[in-house]
Homo-oligomer: A and B are copies of this chain.
């Protein structure tokens, strides 16, 4: 391709060719402007009709909004222009003409429903505040990976097509695999655990997970991105330390590298990376704290799971990221280890944003006999999981880990109303395209 100058880099005195989209056309009579937008920003192009070639004026002003153009000309200072400079064009090439009827207005002047936006993501992502969300998402993933690297975790990729799910056959999407029944994996749980018994010892994975859950809420997806961590010789406290480090690193990366994006979202003043340690409340302290508010109709008793409402009340009371530890064993999955000195209490933990759960983790059951018994108590056939359980016979160390929903992390970080705003092409019960 020919040389191109980004709009943000056009300096007075330069002869440039900028390429981008026609954001706006303003015709004031003798003088007219188009605003050209590219990934770095916008620039004004001035047409003085009487002084310019008719063809040039006709091409430049005859184009429909959102068409792709290349504008060649001299950059001049112009304090009335939105960016302080403008291009006086020598030529305008229409590279891709846009239809005059747009399904969505990328200038943002007309509000659109979320479903219209998702149907037209290409246009939707021309808005700076939407683009900013996904640039921040990319920075979150980058920072998270660097945080894992700083604790010597090795990145792994585990299969998404599996013969059995983590917790059995519920909530799995079935697939036909060369005539055999298989499933899309709902969690890398079992695979990452197998790696802590290998020479890698400490691993992470960022990849898609698939959950055939029926509920359709602003905070659930049927295909999501899971940030998973697991380490040999870790207990749940160690796992929480790494969890806190990773989440803080994500915030710090965004604070450091996404100033322009935060501004596009109007968050430049309020965005703050959490400092200080995340409080670690036991489940018992959590229900006491919830009951003390008097906001629930019925006080919670030991053994109750926390409803969305209870989580909300607690989040309001705590007001920052926090952990809930020491859950009743009954509520946590069988592969989470109970305390050795109290089998009623699980080492499972959740990490919460004030508005919702972000992370679920714990120390894992690494004792072969206990693990097989756990499968049986769940009504699962240990035979079907033999590929997993048998490795526990050959030297499986104590280990702990957790899973963090990338979309929930981005959603809570930016205060998005709907988790679908944190995914370019979300998948839910209704939405399978684009």
* A138 on interface, CB distance cutoff 8 Å: yes
* A278 on interface, CB distance cutoff 8 Å: no
| Shortest CB distance A335–B (Å) | 16
A122 contact from B4, B177, B198, B427, Cβ within 8 A? B198
CB neighbours (8 Å) of A115 from chain B are: none
B396 close to A68 (CB less than 8 A): yes
| Shortest CB distance A188–B (Å) | 10
A223 close to B134 (CB less than 8 A): no
* A255 on interface, CB distance cutoff 8 Å: no
B122 close to A197 (CB less than 8 A): yes
Known: A19-B397, A194-B121. A161 touches B427 (CB 8 A): yes
Known: A68-B395, A398-B1, A427-B161. A388 touches B223 (CB 8 A): no
| Shortest CB distance A297–B (Å) | 34
CB neighbours (8 Å) of A312 from chain B are: none
A212 close to B395 (CB less than 8 A): no
* A142 on interface, CB distance cutoff 8 Å: yes
A424 contact from B134, B195, B222, B366, Cβ within 8 A? B195
Known: A96-B366, A98-B395, A394-B66. A194 touches B156 (CB 8 A): no
A173 close to B161 (CB less than 8 A): yes
Complex-state Cα separation, A432 to B185, whole angstroms: 12
Known: A174-B176, A178-B429, A432-B182. A198 touches B395 (CB 8 A): no
* A128 on interface, CB distance cutoff 8 Å: yes
Binary contact track A371-403/B, C-beta < 8 Å → 1, others 0: 000000000000000011011011111100000
Stretch with Cβ within 8 A of B (4 or more), from A49-57, A233-241, A281-289: A233-241
A425 close to B158 (CB less than 8 A): yes
A233 close to B161 (CB less than 8 A): no
For residue A368, which residue of chain B has the nearest CB? B96
A233 close to B177 (CB less than 8 A): no
* A259 on interface, CB distance cutoff 8 Å: no
CB neighbours (8 Å) of A123 from chain B are: 198, 391, 394
B393 close to A98 (CB less than 8 A): yes
For residue A184, which residue of chain B has the nearest CB? B175
Complex-state Cα separation, A138 to B96, whole angstroms: 40
B225 close to A157 (CB less than 8 A): yes
* A46 on interface, CB distance cutoff 8 Å: no
B119 close to A135 (CB less than 8 A): no
CB neighbours (8 Å) of A174 from chain B are: 175-176
A155 contact from B127, B141, B154, B173, Cβ within 8 A? B141
A161 contact from B158, B238, B393, B432, Cβ within 8 A? B432
Given pairs A135-B154, A160-B184, 18 additional interface contacts (CB within 8 A): A19-B233, A37-B199, A68-B396, A68-B397, A96-B366, A96-B397, A102-B394, A122-B197, A122-B396, A125-B195, A126-B199, A158-B424, A158-B425, A159-B425, A161-B210, A174-B175, A174-B176, A191-B424
11 contacts between A and B (CB under 8 A): A21-B395, A96-B397, A96-B398, A137-B155, A157-B424, A161-B222, A161-B223, A162-B433, A173-B175, A175-B176, A191-B424
- Chain A residues proximal to chain B, CB less than 8 Å: 1, 4, 19, 21-22, 37-39, 66-68, 95-99, 102-103, 119-128, 130-131, 134-135, 137-138, 141-142, 145, 149, 154-164, 173-178, 180, 182, 184, 191, 194-195, 197-202, 207-208, 210, 212, 222-223, 225, 232-235, 237-238, 366-367, 387-388, 390-391, 393-398, 423-427, 429, 432-434
